[in-house]
Structure 1
Amino acid sequence: MVANPAQDVEPTSAGYGDIIRELSRRGLAGGDLFFELALGNPLRAADLFLPVHERMDRVDSWVSLEMTGFDQLRRYNGRQQKTETADRCAMGESGHIDGKHSTRRQNMTSAHGETGNRAGDDRPASCTSDPTTSLPPGSICVEHKTGDTYTISVRGHRLVADQPSAEGGNDDGPTPTELFAASLASCVAFYAGRYLRRHGVGETGLRVEAEFAMADDRPARVSTVRLTVHVPAELDPQRHDALLAVASHCTVHNTLAHPPEIVVRLGSTPPS
């Protein structure tokens, strides 16, 4: 299956025109609109072929999306735009040019909602206690507050991690391990919600419950995470397996299945 709205058709062509107008009505433009449109057919194809994939025991089946050339992205965004503006819009402020082809940075995911630094970008996060200061996407800062309490800065958000009172903490927030399980559950919920939205089903009633257990041996780690996805009643039961397959491949789950390189190092010591 080949679907290339930037190369094969003009934005006003029959079929794509109605979709583009609807996406524009939702407030999407430029790169966001393009990738929503470009991902639509592969995602529908994945849903369509999922029953066959299941009968093949999930072996050697995939639907892929090949990114179009950068010049074609500019064409999609409109020839009348200035090159610099088209460059930024087409790449969603998140890409770079490599020869004649565009390469999406890792902070543009299939769910087109999550962010992160490029692979190999080891710029340190700039910690600041100023709540009005936002960190760049892909940067997180954790600062000691008191006892076992730590403040986590993520872009313009502030979270708190702590330990239960029974473990000597102040219980001012969830533990880092609980945040880990919560990140997986919320990522699954996010993907499930996008699936529902694509199929015209509201997210009201969508809920993900998570339970995790710690390993009995060393090193200290989570041994099991069990997630239960509760979907709205109006979702066609024939789409349950497809939703589960989509949600099971959220970014956090994929990261656990394909562990990233983790580097822990000492930074410079601040002057006393």
Structure 2
Amino acid sequence: MPVIVKKGNGTFQQHIQIDNHSLVADVPVNLGGDDQGPQPHDLLAAALGSCTAMTIVMYAKRKEMALDDVEVSVSQTMIAGTHLFTRHIHYIGNLNAEEKARLTEIANKCPVHKTLTSTIQVVTDFS
């Protein structure tokens, strides 16, 4: 399913359509936008965080671990030309250190993490 992006209201706002779901992306006022939605890089960080959490929950359920909840925060910065995502995972539940370590290994196997750490190629056509 393609992701369709069209101009929204304001200078930079974009409406994003993904199947039956609608989102808005924008930039902050200090960058000339209207701050009506997250910036594109924040959407990328959100994809990593949400995929991480979903992958952990799926694995924990399958292994019947006592994971009550998981919270993932992702920050990002540029360092010497490298885009660095820093991910913090907070496990909630009666888990021992070994289970947390295993869940952290599994987090690195989420599809978005695998995509971001693989070779990425963007092909562009136009009409």
Name which of 27, 32, 45 aligns with 1:168: 32
Following the alignment from structure 1 to structure 2, what is the Cα–Cα distance between the partners of residues 155 and 215? 35
Gaps of 5+ in 2: none
Following the alignment from structure 2 to structure 1, what is the Cα–Cα distance between the partners of residues 31 and 68? 37
Q: Could you tell me how far 1:227 is from its partner in structure 2?
A: 0.4
Name which of 201, 206, 209 aligns with 2:70: 206
Following the alignment from structure 1 to structure 2, what is the Cα–Cα distance between the partners of residues 149 and 240? 40
Q: Could you tell me how far 1:171 is from its partner in structure 2?
A: 0.5
The 5 A counterparts of 1:67-216 are 138-146=1-9, 147-201=11-65, 204-215=68-79
Aligned position for 2:115:
255
Q: Could you tell me how far 1:203 is from its partner in structure 2?
A: 5.0
Following the alignment from structure 2 to structure 1, what is the Cα–Cα distance between the partners of residues 106 and 46? 18
Partner of 1:235: helix, strand, or coil? coil
Aligned position for 2:95:
235
Following the alignment from structure 1 to structure 2, what is the Cα–Cα distance between the partners of residues 235 and 153? 39
Q: Could you tell me how far 1:202 is from its partner in structure 2?
A: 5.7
Gaps of 5+ in 1: 1-137, 268-272
Q: Is the 8 A contact 2:51 2:112 kept in 1?
A: yes
**Count of residues in correspondence between the two structures:** 126
What is the TM-score when the length of structure 1 is the normalising length?
Answer: 0.44
Distance 1:170 1:258, change over 3 A: same
Counterpart of 1:244, as a letter, is: T
Following the alignment from structure 1 to structure 2, what is the Cα–Cα distance between the partners of residues 202 and 153? 36
**Structure showing greater relative contact order (alpha-carbon pairs closer than 8 Å, 6 or more residues apart):** 2
The 5 A counterparts of 1:18-37 are none
What is the TM-score when the length of structure 2 is the normalising length?
Answer: 0.89
Q: Could you tell me how far 1:190 is from its partner in structure 2?
A: 1.0
Partner of 1:166: helix, strand, or coil? helix
